[in-house]
Amino acid sequence: MTLTAIVFIVLGAIAGGFVNGLAGTGTALFALGFLLVALDPISAVAVVSLMSVVTGLQGLWVVREALVQNVPRLMRFIIPGLLGVPVGISLLSYIDADTLKLIIGVLLLVYGGFFSFRANLPKFERRTPVLDSGIGLAGGVLGGMASLSGALPVIWCSMRPWPKAETRAVLQPFNISVLGTTTIMLSWRGAYDSTTFTAFLVALPASLIAAQIGIAVFKRISDNVFRRLLIGLSLLLGLGLLIRALF
């Protein structure tokens, strides 16, 4: 592995780790661009998936109390999400992944762009167990089809006026569950060869440290700022998807 490859892997680990610690999601958005310079696409995705799971465990500890208090709500997202992953994989033969990324990218861009520049944030207060499960299922399907498991949950959770710990207590374990499933499937397909595993070991220390910095920032921001952060991530994710789909 060349010095240039190591530098890009570490930069990706820092960027992805920080946003994971800060928001509990969005690791791939910030890390993949760097890792794809140093690794082939399958290896880059494999490293990011495993890195997201390992660094995400630190974020779970931060919101452990909110996790215990809202287990039924969390399960409404996770269980349908896990069921959706194999459905998404099976649909790969029938739906073009690039077209799907383009559609989701436009959705994220419109939503994130609209609310990023508004004084009033979206507010959806009533309990919606059926819709929660639907968002979880759709996230799992999108994760299996195009590695977009977090796109719809980020939009949905940013619309809910939950405290930041409760919001993170949904997003982080949902992403860990779906990406953990992805990691297992990639491992089954032989994605974690010596090169990929070496890249992961190079990325891990920087990712863990950057995640701790992100967590420190998370602890200091208000609930309202955290919701705006998620909306801003929607905008960036949409832009990233559109750029990749079009170019």
Segments making up each domain of the chain, as ranges: 3-246
pLDDT at res. 151 = 84
pLDDT-derived band at 238 (thresholds 50, 70, 90) equals: confident
pLDDT at res. 146 = 67
Percentage of the chain exceeding pLDDT 90: 36
pLDDT at res. 164 = 92
Per residue in 189-210, pLDDT tens? 788 899 899 999 999 999 999 9
* 206-217: average pLDDT: 95
pLDDT at res. 144 = 78
pLDDT at res. 26 = 82
pLDDT at res. 37 = 87
Going 6 to 11 to 14 to 18, the CA torsion angle's sign is negative
**Two structure tokens written together for 140:** 């799992």
Please state, in angstroms and rounded to a whole number, the distance separating the CA atoms of residues 100 and 46.
Answer: 21
Please state, in angstroms and rounded to a whole number, the distance separating the CA atoms of residues 30 and 34.
Answer: 8
Please state, in angstroms and rounded to a whole number, the distance separating the CA atoms of residues 173 and 157.
Answer: 13
Task: Indicate the average pLDDT of the chain.
Answer: 88
pLDDT at residue 230 tops 80? yes
The neighbour count for residue 99, using CB atoms within 10 Å, is 11
Per residue in 120-177, pLDDT tens? 777 777 888 999 999 999 998 888 776 778 889 989 998 888 899 999 999 999 989 9
Please state, in angstroms and rounded to a whole number, the distance separating the CA atoms of residues 88 and 81.
Answer: 10
Please state, in angstroms and rounded to a whole number, the distance separating the CA atoms of residues 76 and 131.
Answer: 9
- pTM, 2 dp: 0.85
Residue matched to tokens 């958005």: 29
Please state, in angstroms and rounded to a whole number, the distance separating the CA atoms of residues 164 and 217.
Answer: 12
pLDDT at residue 118 tops 80? no
Maximum Cα interatomic distance, the chain, rounded to a whole number of Å: 54
3-state DSSP percent of the chain in helix, strand and coil, to 5:
85, 0, 15
